């Protein structure tokens, strides 16, 4: 944004995935456009970023800076659009079927009561091979009614937090692959009254990736080699909490990971062969064991050396969208 404007950032994590050049991206709850403008530079002039937000004022602010950013990035024409609408009603906002490569969201889905409808709409607008890459708040337990409806807890993105195990149930019911956990960090509640109300429940901010894959036959375990072709990740690609692919190193992956790499935008950056076939690489070899797969964000937060606790912002409306201008 232009200097002189004060903005506050209320996202749960960094929602900028890898391999973005020429992609079409939709940002759910785009606020005043911070993430969209960062992404618009990364996708390049042939890509496109659409931000949708329920607050007209935020959309108006975001639209003010289109010309500024296009000039700054040296683009001949704008590659970003902002729409006023609801993330659980993307069709009403004019967003068509299978029109985006990637959908992102930063601490917004927890504020929508009907999370299944949000995920259903995302699935509809994603192309086959597309991905929902999003950060949000999750609860360790099913939240009681008094917590879910508490005004302050909802405003702080806690009351609407999804029980983490329910994400996999909803995602697979809709048609997504099982969620891939990327990062997780604890959220602390520094208010005695709210702490007593929450009880034994804990909260994390976690980043997951969900892939919409074409309906193909069963995929077998494979050996894959990353070619180092993704800008900014030439030496290694940290795909999620379970897989880090180093350039030229052969890695044995499970069926699900093989299907994702074969059928998504990452396919061009991997050499993929059946197990047992010798691959022409000069790197090492890493075998994968299914029991090591990490899906629990609370265990990841506990086990991470850099796990840091953070307190929710004081303002009750602090998490709506990715940023708030004052």
Q: How do residues 154-176 score in pLDDT, each as one tens digit? A: 988 999 999 999 999 999 999 99
pLDDT exceeds 80 at position 287: no
As a whole number of angstroms, the distance between CA 124 and CA 128 comes to 10
Residues facing 252 on adjacent strands:
223
Q: What's the pTM value of the predicted model, to 2 decimals?
A: 0.88
> Which pair of tokens denotes residue 2?
């232009």
Chain length of the chain: 326
As a whole number of angstroms, the distance between CA 268 and CA 163 comes to 35
> Which pair of tokens denotes residue 19?
């391999």
How far are the Cα atoms of 88, 244, 255, 263 from residue 276, in angstroms, in the given order? 45, 21, 15, 21
> Which pair of tokens denotes residue 191?
């208010």
Q: Residue 121, SS3?
A: helix
**Per-residue 3-state assignment (H helix, E strand, C coil) for the chain:** CCCCCCEEECCCCCCCCCCCCCCEEEEECCCCCHHHHHHHHHHCCCCEEEEEECCHHHHHHHHHCHHHHHHHHCCCCCCEEEEECCCCCCCCCCCCCCCEEEEEEECCHHHCCCHHHHHHHHHHHEEEEEEEEEEEEEECCCCCHHHHCCHHHHHCCCCCCEEHHHHHHHHHHHCCCCCEEEEEEEECCCCHHHHHHHCCCCEEEEEEEEEECCCCCCCCCEEEEECCCCCCCCCEEECCCCCEEEECCEEEECHHHHHHHHHCCCHHHEEEEECCCCCCCCCCEECCCHHHCCCCHHHHHHHCCCCCCECCCCCCCCCCCCEEEC
pLDDT digits (tens, 9 = 90+) for 179-231: 999 999 999 888 899 999 999 999 999 999 999 999 876 678 999 999 999 99
Question: What confidence category does residue 292 fall into, taking pLDDT thresholds of 50, 70 and 90?
Answer: low
Return the C-alpha torsion angle 37, 43, 48, 49, nearest 10.
-40
pLDDT digits (tens, 9 = 90+) for 236-252: 999 999 999 999 999 99
More confident residue, 317 or 68: 68
As a whole number of angstroms, the distance between CA 53 and CA 314 comes to 22
How far are the Cα atoms of 13, 50, 157, 223 from residue 202, in angstroms, in the given order? 18, 34, 13, 38
Query: Among residues 150, 258, 157, 264, which one has the least CA distance to residue 203?
Result: 157
Question: What confidence category does residue 8 fall into, taking pLDDT thresholds of 50, 70 and 90?
Answer: very low
Domains and CATH numbers, the chain: 24-212 (3.40.50.150), 216-280 (3.40.5.100)
The set of residues, in sequence order, having a beta carbon less than 8 Å from that of 234 and lying 6+ positions away, is 228, 247
């Amino acid at each position: 944004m232009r200097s002189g404007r004060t903005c506050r950032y209320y996202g749960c994590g960094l929602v900028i995935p890898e391999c973005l050049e020429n992609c079409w991206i939709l940002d759910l709850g785009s606020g005043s456009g911070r993430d969209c403008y960062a992404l618009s530079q990364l996708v390049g002039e042939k890509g496109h970023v659409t931000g949708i937000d329920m607050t007209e004022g935020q959309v108006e602010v975001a639209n003010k800076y289109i010309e500024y950013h296009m000039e700054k990035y040296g683009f001949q024409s704008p590659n970003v659009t902002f729409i006023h609408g609801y993330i659980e009603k993307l069709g009403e906002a004019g967003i068509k079927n299978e029109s985006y490569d990637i959908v992102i969201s930063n601490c917004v889905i927890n504020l929508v009561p009907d999370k299944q409808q949000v995920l259903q709409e995302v699935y509809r607008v994603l192309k086959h091979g597309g991905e929902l890459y999003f950060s949000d708040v999750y609860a360790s337990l099913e939240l009681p009614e008094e917590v879910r409806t508490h005004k302050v807890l909802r405003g702080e993105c806690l009351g609407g937090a999804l029980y983490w195990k329910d994400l996999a149930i909803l995602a697979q019911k809709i048609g997504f692959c099982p969620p891939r956990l990327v990062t997780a960090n604890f959220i602390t509640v520094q208010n005695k009254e709210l702490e007593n109300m929450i009880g034994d429940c804990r909260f994390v901010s976690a980043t997951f990736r969900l892939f919409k894959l074409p309906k193909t036959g069963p995929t077998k375990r494979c050996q894959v080699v990353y070619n180092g072709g993704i800008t900014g990740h030439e030496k290694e690609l940290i795909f999620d909490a379970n897989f880090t692919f180093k350039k030229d190193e052969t890695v044995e992956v499970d069926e699900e990971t093989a299907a994702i790499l074969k059928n998504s935008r990452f396919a061009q950056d991997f050499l993929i062969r059946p197990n047992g076939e010798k691959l022409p690489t000069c790197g090492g070899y890493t075998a994968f064991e299914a029991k090591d797969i990490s899906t629990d964000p609370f265990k990841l937060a506990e086990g991470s050396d850099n796990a840091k606790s953070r307190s929710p912002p004081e303002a009750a409306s602090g998490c709506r969208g990715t940023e708030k201008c004052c």
